[in-house]
Amino acid sequence: MQSNVNYILEEIIGEGAMAIVYKARHRDLDSLHAIKKLKIQDFDVQKRLIQEGRLLANIRHPNILSVTDLVKLEGTPSLVMEFIQGPSLASLLSRFEINEKQTDALARGIMKGVMAAHKQGLIHRDLKPGNILIDIVDGVVVPKVADFGLAKILDANEQAFSFCGTPEYLAPEILEEKGHAFPVD
């Protein structure tokens, strides 16, 4: 990891329980990036962030947010990622109503990204509209699966079921596996 950072943090573009995401500019290249910096100084959380970076640095897919570097900001491990100008899917859905054709296109892109992760043995475990970023590439809307902080690597004999993630977006079989009740519409 670098201790000398070549990025200027311009503004906060997102914040969760464990990390803050900044819009950042590379000092020499003048290119835009997103940097995810941990808010929690905990060894296990830092280890998980580094694991997230390793996993995503080796997956190149148009529907997965790319991680390009791991740096230290103020002594804290931080991921350098591609910068996406657009909103999250959660933000998009709160402001606009999308039609069936648009829904289908978004769902297909998300599924392609998740499938690419699964081919690498990676299970997201917190897939929700807030973790899908919307990019525009050559005039086409491209969903990008982001935030693999709770991801798990599966070996051939392991099941993905683990009570981890945002409860409202957990698969019912995970809740059933752990004996939790879940609301049915």
Active site residues: 126
- Cα 30 off chain centre by: 24
Burial letters for 98-107: b for 16+ Cβ neighbours within 10 Å, e otherwise? eeeeeeebbe
Q: Are 103 and 64 in contact (CB under 8 A)?
A: no
At 162, give phi and psi (nearest 5°). Answer: -160, 135
Contacts of 22 (CB under 8 A, 6+ apart): 9, 10, 11, 12, 13, 34, 35, 37
- Residue 170 near residue 148, CB atoms below 8 Å: no
